[in-house]
Amino acid sequence: MMETRAGNNVAGFLFYAIHYLLNKYWLTFCRGLEKNCMSLSLYKKKRSFTKTPEPQGGKSSIKNQLVFVVQKHDATRLHYDFRLEMEGVLKSWAVPKGPSLNPEDKRLAMMVEDHPFDYRTFEGIIPEGNYGAGTVMVWDEGTYEPLEDASDNKKENEKKLLKQLHAGSLKFVMHGKKLKGEFALVKTHYQGAENSWLLIKHNDKYASEKDVTEKDKSVVTKRTLDQIEKKSDRIWKSNREEKSKVKSKNSEPGEEKSIKKSATKSVKKKSTLKKKAKTKQ
């Protein structure tokens, strides 16, 4: 009699324990999944992955450090994409003039949709007709951490940075090949735009009046944009029949639209890209 009761108690306890754990972790899992999917939904909506070599997802394998990447992107107008890892994705800003090491410069940085983690290694050509068509170079990469109270714990650093992001004032230290030292990203309301921020170098030993964008080679492949454009191993072999359907993707508002057109350049660019599309497909 006693034994059965004890057995029942154990079974009951186990039942509730398993039920509790499943509930707890299943919910956490679902919330994480939802957050990630929500975060990248705009990114995915703007792109057709059968037509662009751009990555769709990815997860960080770097345990103790947050990473950043700055990509040089020769789209409708040349700009730099400044991306900081947070919440498993890359928080992204398009910087028309590119970063500066001069604390006097305040570089306009338009916040754009989150990009998947794997984007940090993307270098190649986004084919004509796709969103953000043009050549992409990994201009700089490295790790970063919050300026104040940085810890060895990635999650804790991320928490601090997310709080600053939501408050509209990020202060961090970069350990890149070109960008080093203290930087700030401060939300502004330039021309009434909700997504405009300023990228500013703090005055430290890495501050310099020298134009850092003169360093114009990929930190990964040492190639210039022209070299990537001429000989890219990342050109997507898209389907010709499907090409007409892609056109509308290009006209959606967002990253590329927020940067004003440079007419002469875009005309020249389009014609060369068209030629390339004809020969490569």
The contact set with Mn ion (CB under 5 A) reads 73, 81
Q: Which is nearer to Mn ion, 102 or 258 (CB)?
A: 258
| Among 78, 117, 71, residue whose Cα is nearest residue 219 | 71
CB of 276 to Mn ion, least distance (A): 19
Q: Which is nearer to Mn ion, 66 or 112 (CB)?
A: 112
Calculate ∠ Cα 242-248-251, nearest 5°.
145
Q: Which is nearer to Mn ion, 73 or 187 (CB)?
A: 73
CB of 203 to Mn ion, least distance (A): 29
Comparing every residue's Cβ against Mn ion, the nearest one is 73
Residue 18 CA to residue 22 CA, distance in Å, equals: 6
CB of 16 to Mn ion, least distance (A): 52
CB of 21 to Mn ion, least distance (A): 43
One DSSP character per residue, the chain reads -HHHHHHHHHHHHHHHHHHHHHHHHHHHHHHHHHHHHHHHHHHHHT--TTT-----------SS-EEEEEEEEESSSEEEEEEEEETTEEEEEEETT---S-TT--EEEEEEEEEEGGGGG--EEE-TTSTT-EEEEEEEEEEEEESSS--S-HHHHHHHHHHHHHHTEEEEEEEESS-EEEEEEEE--GGG-TTEEEEEE-SSTT--SS-GGG--S-TTT---HHHHHHS-TT-----STTHHHHGGGGGS-STTTTS---HHHHHHHHHHHHHHHHHH-
Q: Which is nearer to Mn ion, 119 or 183 (CB)?
A: 119
CB of 57 to Mn ion, least distance (A): 19
Q: Which is nearer to Mn ion, 71 or 157 (CB)?
A: 71
Matching residue, tokens 């050509």 = 125
Q: Which is nearer to Mn ion, 81 or 123 (CB)?
A: 81
CB of 157 to Mn ion, least distance (A): 26
CB of 75 to Mn ion, least distance (A): 6
CB of 103 to Mn ion, least distance (A): 25
Chain-centroid distance of CA 127 in Å reads 19
Q: Which is nearer to Mn ion, 71 or 164 (CB)?
A: 71
Q: Which is nearer to Mn ion, 112 or 212 (CB)?
A: 112
